[in-house]
Amino acid sequence: FDGSELIVDGVGDDAVVEVYNIAGQRVYSGAVKPVALDKGLYIVRVAGRTFKVAL
């Protein structure tokens, strides 16, 4: 695996994390847990907030 791991911290265990690639395609939607992703730019939505992440 040549990518990275996205770890979301500081939100409740029942929070839903949505991860979108730069093309707008959802690549993950689910529970807060480490998510293995390829290197690249992602939009992460969790707990009503949106973040841009580079891996």
Q: What is the C-alpha separation between 25 and 3, in angstroms, rounded?
A: 18
Q: pLDDT digit string (tens) for 39-48?
A: 999 999 998 9
**Bridge-partner residues for 37, per DSSP?**
4
3-state helix, strand, coil in the chain (%, to 5): 0, 55, 45
Here the tokens at position 6 are 């996205």
The pTM score is 0.85
- pLDDT of amino acid 3: 67
Q: What is the pLDDT of residue 17?
A: 94
CA distance 33 to 12: 11
pLDDT in tens, 6-54: 888 888 878 999 999 999 999 999 998 899 999 999 999 998 999 999 9
Q: Give the N- to C-terminal CA distance of the chain in Å, as an integer.
A: 13
pLDDT in the model for residue 1: 46
